Amino acid sequence: MNLSAGIAFQVLQSVFVVLAAPLLMGWVNQCRAWLQNRTAPSVLLPYWTLAKLFHKDAVIARDASPLFRLTPYVLFGCMWLAAGIVPVLATGLPFAPAADIIALVGVFALARVFSALAAMDIGTSFGGLGARREMLIGFLAEPAMLMTLFTAAFISGSTQLTTIVDTLAHRAFAIYPSLAFAGAAFLMVLLAENARIPIDNPTTHLELTMVHEAMILEYSARHLALIEWAVAIKLFAYMTIGIALFMPWGIAAAGDWSALPLAIAALLAKLALAGAALALLETLLAKLRLFLAPEFLSAAFLLAVLGMLTHFLVQA
């Protein structure tokens, strides 16, 4: 692989993720509306929302600190960076070795800490409440996520996502029991980390239940737009991590232009499926009480640990 083609792939993938992320959000919302017998909004609605928000004047609380205004950009930057690490379209991207799965979890943690800090910045009661709940969910979701990734890392002997995907995509088709546990754990983490039902409800502003929405209450206009966009990229990144770990077939190698159309088509098909599944899950499940969230997530953590132990028992 020559470097220029690699960089071209890298840029292409990063731009693709940023542009396609709201579409995935729109698709999930549309599916959910269908499942719930509502008239579905346009799949492009998230783009129009972003455009509307960017055009508005920002309203900021008087005593906001610079941290508050910096955070949306940091969040967006972190998520964009994550989108560059995950092998979405191709493996072997030139930027991939700069950060492995542990660093990827670190990026998500960095974004979480910044958003929690920004939520506490204004000093409103909801901000602090949201920050506290978000960190509560985060401290359990993060180790569960790491353990899931470690299980995959043990199978391929590497913490590089690109190596993991290469190993998993080009193996003989075999069912790994450890990956089954890890997959279940990953799904639970995905729901929690992306503020979806049953942990959080992205469509509510009910004081008693909101987590993520409580943190971004004070944001408006372009800041809010960046945060919403970052949230969309985060969901996209998580879904593609899941795809990369559990159904990686069809991914291209960086620099291989001929495989690209197939890779894009495969990705879109897999995402459409995953988005529909997410909508179905969200329709079937009810939101848990906040204090059941730790139980939900510790179950995820234990499943991931079980997956790791299974790997040692069965495959070693």
**Interacting residues with other proteins between 116 and 145 (CB under 8 A):** 116-117, 119-129, 131-133, 135-136, 138-140, 142-143
Using CB under 8 A, pick the residue from 23, 147, 165, 303 that binds other proteins.
147
Using CB under 8 A, pick the residue from 1, 158, 177, 204 that binds other proteins.
158
116 contact partners, CB below 8 Å, separation of at least 6: 130, 131, 134, 135, 215
178 versus 240: smaller Cβ distance to other proteins = 178
Using CB under 8 A, pick the residue from 5, 8, 35, 109 that binds other proteins.
109
Q: Which residues within the stretch 25-54 sit at the binding site for other proteins (CB under 8 A)?
A: 54
27 versus 154: smaller Cβ distance to other proteins = 154
- 63 scored as a contact of other proteins (CB under 8 A): yes
Query: What is the C-alpha to C-alpha distance for residues 316 and 306, in angstroms, rounded to an integer?
Result: 15
Task: Find the shortest distance in angstroms from Cβ 310 to other proteins.
Answer: 10
Query: CB–CB of 238/108 below 8 Å?
Result: no
Query: What is the C-alpha to C-alpha distance for residues 268 and 92, in angstroms, rounded to an integer?
Result: 20
First and final C-alpha spacing in the chain: 33
Using CB under 8 A, pick the residue from 25, 89, 93, 107 that binds other proteins.
107
Query: What is the C-alpha to C-alpha distance for residues 238 and 234, in angstroms, rounded to an integer?
Result: 6
- 11 scored as a contact of other proteins (CB under 8 A): no
Task: Find the shortest distance in angstroms from Cβ 230 to other proteins.
Answer: 9
Task: Find the shortest distance in angstroms from Cβ 174 to other proteins.
Answer: 18
Stretch touching other proteins by CB under 8 A, among 26-34, 111-119, 253-261, 277-285: 111-119
Stretch touching other proteins by CB under 8 A, among 28-36, 91-99, 189-197, 266-274: 91-99
Using CB under 8 A, pick the residue from 52, 97, 265, 280 that binds other proteins.
97
Q: How many CB atoms are closer than 10 A to CB 277? A: 14
Computed from CA positions of residues 247, 145, 78, 53, in that sequence, does the dihedral angle turn out positive or negative?
A: positive
173 versus 291: smaller Cβ distance to other proteins = 291
- 113 scored as a contact of other proteins (CB under 8 A): yes
Q: Which residues within the stretch 70-89 sit at the binding site for other proteins (CB under 8 A)?
A: 73-74, 76-78, 80-81, 84
What the block records as the tokens of 197 is 């039902």
Query: CB–CB of 233/18 below 8 Å?
Result: yes
Q: Which residues within the stretch 204-263 sit at the binding site for other proteins (CB under 8 A)?
A: 205, 207, 217-218, 222, 226
87 versus 275: smaller Cβ distance to other proteins = 87
Query: CB–CB of 28/277 below 8 Å?
Result: no
Query: What is the C-alpha to C-alpha distance for residues 125 and 122, in angstroms, rounded to an integer?
Result: 9
Query: What is the C-alpha to C-alpha distance for residues 252 and 235, in angstroms, rounded to an integer?
Result: 22
3-class state of residue 124 by DSSP: coil
If we measure between CA atoms, which residue out of 310, 168, 154 comes closest to residue 245? Answer: 168
36 versus 298: smaller Cβ distance to other proteins = 298
Query: What is the C-alpha to C-alpha distance for residues 94 and 5, in angstroms, rounded to an integer?
Result: 10
- Up-side HSE of residue 299: CA atoms within 13 Å toward CB? 8
Site size for other proteins, by CB under 8 A?
80
